[in-house]
């Protein structure tokens, strides 16, 4: 039993820490950010639950063979090799689902001369945070890609350490083979997020102006939280992958009685890369859990509030 607990902890520690952070946030101030009961809350719970369940299951199936789906042995190997991009792909689907309801069918109020954009209902620091995460992902991906080399199959995912004129050893790295598809999904995630924010901001304000604006603020916040969570989980996976590369060790006999050992140039960063990766992923899961709590533990809608 203790062995199972240890295995579960090391397999799901980022998720467990993320849940603890989300509960702490909810107890501290999350109750003021609840969605009103209705269609929007139901869709948010469904989208977030499916996204989290899918990502957790896919990752659990790798460490626990008994959880692997039927016929999984017939899936192409690259499906499992590309697990670093799963969070981005699932995040895109979740954000697209959160566009429901697309329009708000409510009595129109007074005309507003203020131009509404996808940035109208979200704090600037949310958008600044997303921009910072995206910039970090692109920077790390490019640096890791430049350090990669083609392997025997011609795929840019190999990292080699030259220990001498005739000695070298290598391992896998988050190279172009992984980062190019991930950057394409990253662009798709940004595009889908922008479109959904535009769909939320575009309709005219309803007669109940205050409740309408509050709902749009909450929906925008949840969209940005899901997008940020997917980006952080992806970034955490990159750092964790790089920590595995940094842990590479190699040795060879030198002369008759000598022995030499070599490591990667960034071997000293291995613990930092690992814990930073786990912490960043935990923060991403915390954002997803926070959205789930805000939609599952709803507040009662007012009589004249938009029924979304």
- 59 has pLDDT over 90: no
pLDDT of residue 92: 97
- 277 has pLDDT over 70: yes
Q: Is the peptide bond preceding residue 126 cis, with omega within 30 degrees of 0? A: no
Q: Which two tokens stand for residue 274?
A: 């690992």
152 three-class SS: coil
Give the residue among 233, 262, 231, 257 at the shortest CA–CA distance from 246: 262
Give the residue among 87, 125, 79, 108 at the shortest CA–CA distance from 206: 108
**Residue 108 located in a structural domain:** no
**Residue 107 located in a structural domain:** no
pLDDT of residue 222: 95
What predicted TM-score, i.e. pTM, was given to this entire model? 0.89
Q: Which two tokens stand for residue 254?
A: 């030198």
CA separation for the pair 243, 275 (Å, rounded): 9
**Residue 222 located in a structural domain:** yes
pLDDT band at 305 (very low <50, low <70, confident <90, very high): very low
Alpha-carbon distance values, 154 to 96, 129, 159, 169 (Å): 36, 37, 13, 17
- 57 has pLDDT over 70: yes
CA separation for the pair 161, 139 (Å, rounded): 22
Section 123-131 average pLDDT: 93
Give the residue among 12, 151, 141 at the shortest CA–CA distance from 84: 141
pLDDT of residue 267: 86
pLDDT band at 126 (very low <50, low <70, confident <90, very high): very high
Q: Based on the structure, what is the number of domains in the chain?
A: 1
Section 116-130 average pLDDT: 89
Q: Which domain holds residue 226?
A: 2-101+115-307
Q: Which two tokens stand for residue 148?
A: 């990669």
Q: Which two tokens stand for residue 80?
A: 């499992």
**Residue 109 located in a structural domain:** no
CA separation for the pair 92, 87 (Å, rounded): 9
258 phi, psi to nearest 5 deg: -90, 160
- 137 has pLDDT over 50: yes
Give the residue among 223, 228, 281 at the shortest CA–CA distance from 56: 281
**Residue 110 located in a structural domain:** no
CA separation for the pair 268, 237 (Å, rounded): 19
- 180 has pLDDT over 50: yes
- 223 has pLDDT over 90: yes
- 111 has pLDDT over 60: no
pLDDT of residue 30: 75
pLDDT band at 176 (very low <50, low <70, confident <90, very high): very high
pLDDT of residue 264: 82
287 phi, psi to nearest 5 deg: -65, -40
Section 46-61 average pLDDT: 89
CA separation for the pair 39, 34 (Å, rounded): 14
217 phi, psi to nearest 5 deg: -60, -45
Percentage of the chain exceeding pLDDT 70: 81
250 three-class SS: strand
CB hemisphere CA count around 298 (13 angstroms): 20
For 296, counting Cβ atoms within 10 Å of its Cβ (0-12 exposed, 13-18 middle, 19+ buried), the class is middle
State the DSSP H helix or E strand holding residue 172, giving kind and residue range, or none if neither: strand 168-172
Section 89-108 average pLDDT: 81
**Residue 17 located in a structural domain:** yes
Contact 284, 87 (CB under 8 A): yes
Section 241-251 average pLDDT: 85
- 167 has pLDDT over 90: no
């Amino acid at each position: 039993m203790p062995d199972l607990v240890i295995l579960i902890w090391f397999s799901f520690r980022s998720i467990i820490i993320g849940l603890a952070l989300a509960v702490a946030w909810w107890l501290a101030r999350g109750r003021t950010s609840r969605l009103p009961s209705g269609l929007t809350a139901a869709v948010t719970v469904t989208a977030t639950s499916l996204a989290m369940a899918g990502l957790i299951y896919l990752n659990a199936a790798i460490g626990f063979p008994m959880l692997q789906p039927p016929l999984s042995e017939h899936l192409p190997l690259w499906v499992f090799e590309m697990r670093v991009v799963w969070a981005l792909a699932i995040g895109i689907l979740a954000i697209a689902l959160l566009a429901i309801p697309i329009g708000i069918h409510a009595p129109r109020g007074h005309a507003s001369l203020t131009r509404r954009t996808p940035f109208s209902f979200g704090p600037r620091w949310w958008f600044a945070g997303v921009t910072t995460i995206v910039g970090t992902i692109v920077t790390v991906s490019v640096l890791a890609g430049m350090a990669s080399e083609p392997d025997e199959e011609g795929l840019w995912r190999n990292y080699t350490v030259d220990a001498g004129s005739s000695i070298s050893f290598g391992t896998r790295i988050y190279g172009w083979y992984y980062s190019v598809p991930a950057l394409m999904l990253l662009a798709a995630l940004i595009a889908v997020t922008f479109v959904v924010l535009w769909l939320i901001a575009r309709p005219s304000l309803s007669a109940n102006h205050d409740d309408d604006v509050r709902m749009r603020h909450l929906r925008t916040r949840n969209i940005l939280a899901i997008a940020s969570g997917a980006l952080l989980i992806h970034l955490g996976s990159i750092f964790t992958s790089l920590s595995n590369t940094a842990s590479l060790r190699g040795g060879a006999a030198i002369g008759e009685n000598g022995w030499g050992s070599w490591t990667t140039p960034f071997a000293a960063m291995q613990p930092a890369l690992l814990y930073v990766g786990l912490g960043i992923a935990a923060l991403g899961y915390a954002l997803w859990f926070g959205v789930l709590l805000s939609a599952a533990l709803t507040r009662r809608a007012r009589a004249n509030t938009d029924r979304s």
